[in-house]
A and B are shown apart, each in its own frame.
Chain A
Amino acid sequence: GAGVSQSPRYKVAKRGQDVALRCDPISGHVSLFWYQQALGQGPEFLTYFQNEAQLDKSGLPSDRFFAERPEGSVSTLKIQRTQQEDSAVYLCASSPTLASQRPQHFGDGTRLSIL
């Protein structure tokens, strides 16, 4: 089956605009994670869903960042009033049931550039 799919692959926005990034996890995967990877850095955790429940949002950098997963499958990461420091690659990852020993499967990411 298909892996984790993220769209768009690239997004350019002007400072102050709102953006929405989409993640399609692997079918049946319970857990979904969002990470932010700034240039030259490792990915940093943003938020985590178990099915439709957002269990951890401690990594979201500000209240301009909002994530949802209303039906427990597709997730959207929304950034309001974008700033230049929001420029990064946003990675989505999914993993199977809580009892699984398989670690997270990552998508190719969305590269966001704020002008």
Chain B
Amino acid sequence: AQSVTQLDSQVPVFEEAPVELRCNYSSSVSVYLFWYVQYPNQGLQLLLKYLSGSTLVKSINGFEAEFNKSQTSFHLRKPSVHISDTAEYFCAVSMNRDDKIIFGKGTRLHILP
């Protein structure tokens, strides 16, 4: 069975500082990996995804994540955060492109002024 672990429930970081949100997964088969973001009182939005190919994937707003098969990780990073990045971030995995998604418990990113 697949599972996703996000060890940090909350991460405080100063504005313009770098941030890393950790994600580890377990699966006996190849998986597809996602990061979703949920802004306050809004639905989930896809931030970035790894389906195949390059292990480093990037979003349009400066986030990036690297798929590391040996460490079964898919950590999310941003070199300089902005107040608008305040949100909850969910790491997720699925076996197929259109299969159900297994989510982690989420990491709340607090941006400090």
**Which A residues are closer than 8 A to B by beta carbons?**
4, 31, 33, 35, 40-45, 48, 56, 59, 91, 93, 95, 98, 100-109
- B46 interface residue per 8 A CB criterion: yes
Which residues of B are found within 8 Å of A56, using beta-carbon distances? 100
Interface hub of B4, B43, B51, B100 (most chain A Cβ within 10 A):
B100
Give min CB distance, A59 to chain B, whole Å: 7
Q: How many residues of B contact A (CB 8 A)?
A: 24
- Chain B, interface SS category: strand
> Which residue of B32, B36, B100, B104 contacts A33 across the interface (Cβ within 8 Å)?
B100
Q: How far is the CA of A59 from the CA of B102 in the complex (A)?
A: 11
Which listed residue (B4, B43, B104) contacts A106, Cβ 8 A? B43
Interface SS of chain A: loop
Contacts of B100 in A (CB 8 A): 33, 45, 48, 56, 59
**Could you count the A-B residue pairs with CB atoms below 8 Å apart for me: how many are there?**
60
Most chain B Cβ neighbours within 10 Å, of A35, A42, A95? A42
The list of the 6 closest CB pairs from A to B, nearest first, reads A42-B103, A108-B43, A106-B44, A45-B100, A106-B43, A42-B105
Contacts of B92 in A (CB 8 A): 42
B78 CB-CB contact with A under 8 Å: no
Bound complex: CA A108 to CA B98 (Å): 20
